[in-house]
Structure 1
Amino acid sequence: MSHKRMPKRNAAIAAGSVVALGAAALLLPHANASQDGATDAAAPRTLKAGDAGSLAEQLAAALGDAFAGSYYDAGRQQLVVNVVGDNNQLVVQAKKAGAAVRQVDNSMAELEAAARTLKADATIPGTAWAVDPRTNKIVVTADRTVTGDRWDTLESTVEGLGSGMATLRKSSGTFKPFASGGDAIFGGGSRCSLGFNVVADDGSPAFLTAGHCGVAVEQWSDAQGGAPIATVDQAVFPGAGDFALVRYDDPATQPPSDVNLGNGQTVAIDQAAEAAVGQQVFRMGSTTGLRDGQVTGLNATVNYPEGTVTGLIQTNVCAEPGDSGGSLFTQDGSAIGLTSGGSGDCTSGGETFFQPVTTALEAVGATLGGGGAQGAGEGDAGAGSGGDEAGGGQDAGAGAGAGADEGEDADGGGIGDGDGDSDGVGDADGNRDGIGAGNGIGAGREDAPGLVQTH
């Protein structure tokens, strides 16, 4: 881990009225985590994604070696838990806890052993892998640079793991780190994005961004060509993560704990949370603005040209150069991740990897927050009409103007050009609530190839 001092950020960055996601009847409908007392105790509970994550942690501990991963079924709003073995008592235990149970063949121990084999025999630049609990396999992806002998090595390694253990797929893009997130930060000719404002272990103001940004540049400004406002204190990349702690040079700085959505709109951030496969998340970046998608994998390994990074969150949210370090968060204001890198762009889509915020905070000894006034905005502004596939806020969006009606998304979660002052981010059928993105960016997302860094 390289150690440097971190930059600071003026409170003016991300200034503006706060439009808390929770104040707008929330972006997407939520079912109550509680159940009707008359419901069968063995029936899967209706859960929010955050509650599903908490239940998954409890069941992982309770089921022990029989636990083979879990994911959130957003359509049914249920936690699905994989169980190996024929211990019916454990299955009943998981069902009584409120999970939908699926019996699978591959244990977590077997999947983790397969991942260690990949690390030992196929750590090839341009490759990535993560356990997919929905298929109970490891998904291995190779970008377009993996050809010839390197492809043959990867293919034979995957085949050697055994039938039903892994899936190999090819991406037409290139894995690389991205550089951006919420507000743009500049340094040494590079542009990244600020992730989340934090309080360092000594009480001083700081922020988190991508480690590859912190390794590349020591001092950062909030304006292109402007005077530095913050200095890198700690940075990790490559290795066990991609994160940096950057301290504001002025210890009196009081940056807000929020994500800047543009057009004077912000989302208050009040906690850090673990990601869950299947969970819907939102990303803010200085290049591509507000985008949404789902978590597709946890504890992902990515082999960038600069080196291997482990412990990342894998998603289908698009991103582009300049988005590195930016904020990954949920509708209820939970900080989830920092943009690391990925493939594709926000026209064709792609895969993007994020540094878990919880891991970064623990590593640098910081806590979320930063001071600054935060107020709640009106929750009913920004009602818009969504297209057949574009996600448009139709009920309560956070922002003014009509929702998105031109963005396209094979899954329906697109961000498109709105008719008013801000765009909407909607759900799969375009009929749910939306967040006003406020930056007029078209193009939805769909699965697309290529992994890239963003600076």
Structure 2
Amino acid sequence: MRRTVVTRTGLSALLLLGTWAAVGLAPAAAASPTPAPAPGVSAGLLSAMREDLGLTESQAKARLAAEKTATAVEGKARRAAGSSYGGSWFDAADGTLAVAVTDEQKADAVRATGATVRIVKHSARQLDAAKSRIDALDAPDGVSSWHVDPKANQVVVNVVAGQKSDNDVRDFVARARQTGPVTVKETAEAPRTFAAGTVGGDPYYTGNVRCSIGFSVYGGFVTAGHCGQAGASVSGWDGSYIGNFQGSSFPGDDYAWVNVGSGWWTVPVVLGWGAVPDQLVRGSAVAPIGASICRSGSTSHWHCGNVLATNETVNYSQGAVYQMTKTSVCAEPGDSGGSFLSGDQAQGVTSGGWGNCSSGGETWHQPINEILGRYGLTLHTA
């Protein structure tokens, strides 16, 4: 508990004073002969990747470098593939970006960008069209989500294992299969959002709901839409007034932004909660499927995993949310709105998921660039 209070006091100092130079953003000098981390990679981040992803330090460093290269290659590979583009993902086994194409004549041009090639039957345009047709269907509670899986070259529909025999679920799956190439998988639980009732000493509150700050933008911060409606008042971990929700959308989307005033300032920092040093945010380049990703939240703090899917439609009990990114990172109530990072690049704000950080689970985030574009915001970067 004492460490939590100290960490949150640090956050208050960050927001109130608008400075991050003295809060330990770089790891302290090591007293042991442990190899120094790569430039821009903290020892704490490497430690989290060892714990959550089972990587050695050298493997974690190599993976981060390969993921950065893959992210840079993706746009060029997509352009080279043209209309035959079938999607892409990070292949952790060989450390490259894998790109699916339907036309073998495009393969050499794609390889020239540094990507590897997989020949597939369906283009991304065809798969996206099938998913859009599924988006138009009325999904029952037993259907948890659906997304395009470029590696499988299919649209994957996820159903809750205990409800797969439900008549409404079976009917939805049958109609989904009529839209195009569809495969069905089972998930352990239905998705839920990660807001929570009021608990003292956490980042921010609106009404009796506790959520987590996502990323600083100039003039405020972004977070999850289900945490509060436009106009709702927001207070900080210490109960002091921060500002109000200036925009909020849920369901359909799950994003919002809050203005910052009354002495609160913004900084390009994400809390490491003592598990890792506080992290600087340097941009918002999108990590590919298969890349490592970490999350910071006010309940379960810092955890890492992998990107599992993009542009997934999630069927919450309150309604469907579109264009979400699914990860293998765990989360718990109160983590809603919190930060998803890949390296030093902002990825999105925590929406919901299933499971917890004791038994594991999956979590979705709303991509940050969509939020910035929707409200005309600028990410505060270092």
TM-score range, shorter chain: 0.7 to 0.9
Partners of 1:278 and 1:233 in 2: how far apart? 34
Asked whether the 8 Å contact 2:225–2:256 carries over to 1, the reply is yes
Alignment of 1:2-401 (within 5 A): 10-12=12-14, 16-19=23-26, 22-24=40-42, 27=46, 28-30=60-62, 48-85=66-103, 87-88=104-105, 90-125=106-141, 126-143=143-160, 144=162, 148-161=166-179, 165-179=181-195, 184-199=203-218, 205-215=219-229, 218-223=232-237, 226-239=239-252, 241-250=253-262, 252-263=263-274, 265-331=277-343, 333-369=344-380
1:217/1:303 CA distance change after superposition, 3 Å: farther
State the secondary structure of the residue aligned to 1:169: strand
> Which residue in the other structure is 1:431 paired with?
none
Asked whether the 8 Å contact 2:42–2:277 carries over to 1, the reply is no
Partners of 1:218 and 1:188 in 2: how far apart? 8
Partners of 2:137 and 2:342 in 1: how far apart? 37
Asked whether the 8 Å contact 1:188–1:217 carries over to 2, the reply is no
Asked whether the 8 Å contact 1:282–1:291 carries over to 2, the reply is yes
> Which residue in the other structure is 2:53 paired with?
none
Q: Report the AA paired with residue 147 of structure 2.
A: A
Asked whether the 8 Å contact 2:212–2:336 carries over to 1, the reply is yes
CA RMSD of aligned residues (A): 2.6
Asked whether the 8 Å contact 1:211–1:236 carries over to 2, the reply is yes
Partners of 2:377 and 2:132 in 1: how far apart? 31
Shift of 1:139: 1.4
1:107/1:188 CA distance change after superposition, 3 Å: same
Shift of 1:212: 0.9
User: Identity rate of aligned residues, in percent?
Assistant: 33
Partners of 1:236 and 1:305 in 2: how far apart? 16
Asked whether the 8 Å contact 1:175–1:343 carries over to 2, the reply is yes
Shift of 1:349: 1.6
Aligned residues: 334
Asked whether the 8 Å contact 1:214–1:234 carries over to 2, the reply is no
Using CA pairs below 8 Å that are at least 6 residues apart, which structure has the higher relative contact order?
A: 1
TM-score, with normalisation over the residues of structure 2?
0.80
Asked whether the 8 Å contact 1:186–1:221 carries over to 2, the reply is yes
Deviations 1:233-289 (A, max 9, x none): 0111112x3111100132x53232111112393111121121310110000111111
Partners of 2:41 and 2:134 in 1: how far apart? 46
Shift of 1:128: 0.7
Shift of 1:81: 0.5
Shift of 1:30: 2.9
Q: Report the AA paired with residue 118 of structure 2.
A: R
Partners of 1:306 and 1:55 in 2: how far apart? 38
State the secondary structure of the residue aligned to 2:221: strand
TM-score, with normalisation over the residues of structure 1?
0.68
Partners of 2:99 and 2:62 in 1: how far apart? 21
Partners of 1:119 and 1:228 in 2: how far apart? 39
**Unaligned 5+ runs, structure 2:** 1-10, 28-36, 47-59, 197-201
Shift of 1:161: 4.2
More helix by share: 2
Shift of 1:159: 3.6
Partners of 1:147 and 1:323 in 2: how far apart? 32
Partners of 2:122 and 2:130 in 1: how far apart? 10
